[in-house]
Amino acid sequence: MTPSATRGTVRAVAVASVVRLRDVTKSYGAGAAKTQVLRGVSIDVEPGEFVALVGQSGSGKSTLLNIIGGLDQPDSGEVEVLGIDTLKAGDAKRAQLRNQSIGFIFQAFNLMDHLTCLGNVVIPASFAHDAKDVEARGREALRRVGLSDFAHRRPGELSGGQKQRVAIARALFGAPTLLLCDEPTGNLDSETGKGVIDFFRELNDKDRVTLVIVTHERRVSSVAKRVIAMRDGMIVETSDEELAAAHAASGGGPS
Residues that bind another protein (CB under 8 A): 63, 66, 69, 71-73, 91-92, 95-96, 98-100, 104, 106-108, 110-112, 114, 123-129, 170, 174, 254
Nearer to another protein, 6 or 126 (CB): 126
Distance of CA 176 to the CA centre of its chain: 12
Residues in the chain: 255
- Closest to another protein by CB, 106 or 200: 106
Nearer to another protein, 100 or 192 (CB): 100
Q: What single-letter DSSP state applies at residue 32?
A: G
To the nearest whole angstrom, how small is the minimum distance from the Cβ of residue 72 to another protein?
4
Nearest CB to another protein, comparing residues 37 and 243: 37
Least distance between another protein and beta carbon 183 (Å): 10
Q: What's the CA gap between 223 and 234, in Å, rounded?
A: 23
C-beta of 10 vs 108, nearer to another protein:
108
Query: What letter would DSSP give residue 191?
Result: H
Rounded Cα distance between 81 and 97, Å, is 9
CB of 114 to another protein, least distance (A): 5
The C-alpha atoms of residue 12 and residue 29 are separated, in whole angstroms, by: 32
Q: Rounded to the nearest whole angstrom, what is the least distance from the CB of residue 91 to another protein in the complex?
A: 5
Q: How many CB atoms lie within 10 A of CB 150?
A: 20
Distances (CA, A) of 91 to 23, 86, 100, 149: 22, 9, 14, 37
Task: Indicate the helix (H) or strand (E) that contains 121.
Answer: helix 117-121
Query: Cβ 170 to another protein, closest distance in Å?
Result: 7
Pairing outcome for strands 234-236 and 178-182: unpaired
